[in-house]
Amino acid sequence: MKPNAAEPTVIESVGELALPPREPALPRPASPPGRLRRSRADGERAESHRVDSRRADGERVESHRVDSRRADGERAVALRDTWRALWSSRLLVWGIGIATVLAFGFGPQRGAFNPPGLSRGLGALGDVLAAPVARWDSNWYLLIAHYGYHPALGAYTVSRSAFFPLYPLGLSLISGLGVPPVAAGVLLSVCALAAALYGLHRLTTLELGAHGGSDVARIAVYALAFAPMTFFLSAVYSESLYLALSIGLFWSARQGRWGYVGLLGALASATRSTGVVLLVPALILYLYGPRRDRPPDRARAGIGEGWRRLLPRYRVRREVLWLALVPAGLVAYGAYLGAGGGDPLAPLSAQGVWSRHFAGPFLATWDGLKAAFDGARQLISMQRTHLYFPVGGEDPFVAASHNLILFAFLAAAVPAVIGVVRRLPLAYGAYVVAALALPLSYPVSSQPLMSLPRFLLVLFPLFMWLGDWLVRHPRAQRPMLAGSVALMVVFGAQFATWHWVA
């Protein structure tokens, strides 16, 4: 082979080996026009479905991101408003109480019920610091936390059973860590108050945020933190703990977390007797909503559909059994007293020890009106010889002023209750009415509306409505809050100096 012919020959050989000869292509049969159109349509539908799926997935992801950012923003705002309201209000409560004791002393009734070692005998500084937080019923909680109930002693200790066990149990647990009893009570109450204010902010934003944004929630939080009787919320009292548990129950029910609803309800019914009535709003939220866990099973009935409006919007499922836990706290408390040799029904019968009696549903309202009228007559008469009403051992003028103040709180609560019924979901109004049924059906002979301001303090829907009302009436915001702070200063000073307030 010649050198100049070798390379073309190799290339030709390799090309023949690497590329086998092609077979002639056969003509493809033509598709019918109909089949061709159907195939194109199927492809377009599939592509459209894929595009729609990707768009829906993107929208869901974006919606989730927006919801997450909104929730993070709401939490941040709630934490900020809660912290500001908490520290400023508690600083004012302690400042007023301490300043009053330093200026006027501990008051004339210091020995009414003040066992040494509980809220007295804490040293010169300790007695002054305890003044705004450890008065009257505080000593009962401190006594139970230290000594227990001892139900077997019968009449000697039956008065203790009116104070439910969860709060003194918390005091005992914290004191067991080496914290002084009064400080343990303050720590428990303030932590519970912080949780309650935060929960109130979130719940108000959920229910009324569309009407005024975060302003409604912020004003509701400040209205509660600076309420006339707000000093009870940092005192050694169970109000703040019950308030936090009841708000948590409503929040959990709105989210459809029924296990938490049952647990929080059980704890609330172990804190106060009114905890049992939380079963009413829990059932209403379960059957009628509003709920965020799933859409309703039935559409909301129209105005003209009559009795169909009473049909539940949500079908009953197995999860409803969690609600049976709500009264478990009261049942467990009665069982504990019975197992200790006492009366399992003592928490109910003990109200008679404190001069409460059943007068009929809401009939204490009429008794309170008569007591306020007679109290006004007593004050106008300017004399203490003739009594217009039973005073229960108090000075007639003092008893008269108490009855007038108590009825004023009831009168102020009436428009708030109506507002809750009109502006908030049904469960909130039902809860307020059911909770008020207890104090307004069991009056005290000398003061039919005794302790009503404390009962109103823990009914958080009233403050939700108040925040909404003040946003819609901005000119009333400053006068309303200023008046509330002024009353808080007066009542807080009285409480610190052993004057009975509520």
pLDDT of residue 57: 57
Of 173-187, 209-223, 231-245, the one with minimum mean pLDDT is 209-223
Q: How many domains does the chain have?
A: 1
Residue 13 within any structural domain of the chain: no
**Band of the pLDDT at 209, cuts 50, 70, 90?**
confident
pLDDT of residue 1: 44
Secondary structure of residue 374 in the 3-state scheme: helix
The residues, any chain, with a CB within 8 Å of residue 497's CB and separated by 6 or more, are: 100, 101, 104, 105, 106, 107, 131
Residue 468 burial (10 A CB sphere; 0-12, 13-18, 19+): buried
pLDDT of residue 27: 53
SS3 of 469-485: the string is: HHHHCHHHHHHHHHHHH
pLDDT of residue 59: 55
pLDDT of residue 3: 44
Tell me the two tokens of residue 106.
């501990």
Closest residue by Cα to residue 104 from 450, 494, 388:
494
Tell me the whole-structure pTM to 2 decimals. 0.85
Q: From CA 403, how far away is CA 50, in angstroms rounded?
A: 73
* DSSP-derived secondary structure letter, 177: T
More confident residue, 114 or 199: 199
Residue 20 within any structural domain of the chain: no
Question: What is the H or E stretch that residue 422 is in?
Answer: helix 396-423
CB atoms within 10 A of CB 143: 20
In this predicted structure, the answer to whether residue 140 has a pLDDT above a threshold of 90 is yes
Altogether, the residues listed in the chain come to a count of 502
Please say whether the beta carbons of 341 and 152 come within 8 A.
yes
Residue 151 within any structural domain of the chain: yes
Mean local confidence (pLDDT), 297-313: 73
**Band of the pLDDT at 17, cuts 50, 70, 90?**
very low
Mean local confidence (pLDDT), 319-326: 96
pLDDT of residue 96: 96
Residues of the domain holding 474: 75-496
Closest residue by Cα to residue 168 from 253, 269, 271:
271
pLDDT of residue 48: 66
404-426 pLDDT tens trace: 999 999 999 999 999 999 999 99
Distances (CA, A) of 421 to 110, 279, 286, 416, 425: 42, 18, 18, 9, 7
Residue 103 within any structural domain of the chain: yes
Tell me the two tokens of residue 449.
């509306």
Tell me the two tokens of residue 427.
């469960």
Residue 288 within any structural domain of the chain: yes
Q: From CA 150, how far away is CA 423, in angstroms rounded?
A: 46
**Band of the pLDDT at 84, cuts 50, 70, 90?**
very high
pLDDT of residue 20: 47
Hey, which residues does 116 pair with through a beta bridge?
Answer: 120
Place of tokens 């009825």: 407
Closest residue by Cα to residue 252 from 243, 239, 261, 264:
261
Mean local confidence (pLDDT), 2-22: 43
Residue 58 within any structural domain of the chain: no
Residue 36 within any structural domain of the chain: no
Q: What proportion of the chain, given as a percentage, has pLDDT over 90? A: 64
Please say whether the beta carbons of 229 and 502 come within 8 A.
yes
The residues, any chain, with a CB within 8 Å of residue 498's CB and separated by 6 or more, are: 106, 107, 108, 109, 110, 112, 135, 136
Q: Which amino acid is located at 184 in the chain?
A: A
Residue 1 within any structural domain of the chain: no
